[in-house]
Amino acid sequence: MTDHAPSSRPELDAERRSERRAQAWWLWKGPALVWLALIVLFAISLGSAYLPLGDGNIAANLLIAAVMIVLLVTFLMDLQNATVIVRLIAGAGLFWLIFMFSLTFNDYLSRYY
Partner 1 sequence: MSDTAGALQHPWPNLRLQREGVGLGMWMFLASEVLFFGGLFVSYAVYRSFNEEAFRIAGEHTEIVYGTINTVLLLTSSLTMTVALRAATANMRDLTLACLAVTAALGVAFLICKGLEYREDLKEHLFPDPHFPLSPPATQMFWGFYWIMTGIHAVHLTGGIAIVLVVLVLFKRRVIPVQGSTMEGVAIYWHFVDSVWLVLYPLLYLAGRS
Residue numbers at the binding site for partner 1 (CB under 8 A): 1-3, 23-24, 27-28, 31-32, 34-35, 38-39, 42, 45-46, 49-53, 57-58, 61-62, 64-65, 68-69, 72-73, 76-77, 82-83, 85-86, 89-90, 92-94, 96-97, 100-101, 104-105, 108-109
Minimum separation from the CB atom of position 10 to partner 1 (A): 22
Integer Cα distance of 39 and 52 in angstroms: 23
Quickly count: other Cβ atoms within 10 Å of residue 57's Cβ. Answer: 15
Integer Cα distance of 62 and 67 in angstroms: 9
Minimum separation from the CB atom of position 30 to partner 1 (A): 8
Which of residues 14 and 95 has its CB atom nearest to partner 1 in the complex? 95
Length of the chain: 113
CB distance 68 to 42 below 8 Å: yes
